[in-house]
């Protein structure tokens, strides 16, 4: 018998599908991570104090850089997307 798959049911251990966003705020003068914000179920890596290393970790697990925005004279915010 073929049973229909119920995809909107919440189950423990079920992978979350969809789009995830991570925001990484860095001080580009000294290459330091200021803050990291992510969507609730986003795949994540441990954050390094080094901004370039943190970006590298997220890109290596499948995130795509979709934007980099200056916040002030020392900080930039990177927006990464995972699909």
Q: Is residue 4 part of a domain?
A: no
Q: What per-residue confidence (pLDDT) applies to 3?
A: 47
Q: pLDDT under 50 in the chain at which residues?
A: 3-6, 9
DSSP at 34: E
What does the pLDDT read at residue 69?
97
Q: How many domains does the chain have?
A: 1
In a domain, 73, yes or no: yes
* Measured CA distances, 65 to 14, 22, 35, 45, 49 (Å): 26, 10, 17, 15, 19
Q: Cα 29 to chain center, whole Å?
A: 22
Containing domain of residue 35, as a range? 20-82
* Domain membership flag for residue 54: yes
The reply to whether 15 falls in a domain is no
């Amino acid at each position: 018998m073929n049973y229909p798959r119920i995809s909107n049911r919440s189950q423990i251990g079920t992978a979350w599908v969809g789009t995830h966003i991570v925001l990484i705020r860095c001080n580009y003068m000294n290459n330091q991570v200021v803050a990291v914000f992510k969507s609730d179920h986003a795949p994540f890596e441990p954050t390094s104090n080094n901004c370039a290393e943190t970006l590298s970790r997220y890109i290596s697990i499948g995130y795509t850089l979709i934007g980099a925005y200056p916040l002030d004279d020392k900080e930039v915010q990177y927006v990464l997307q995972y699909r």
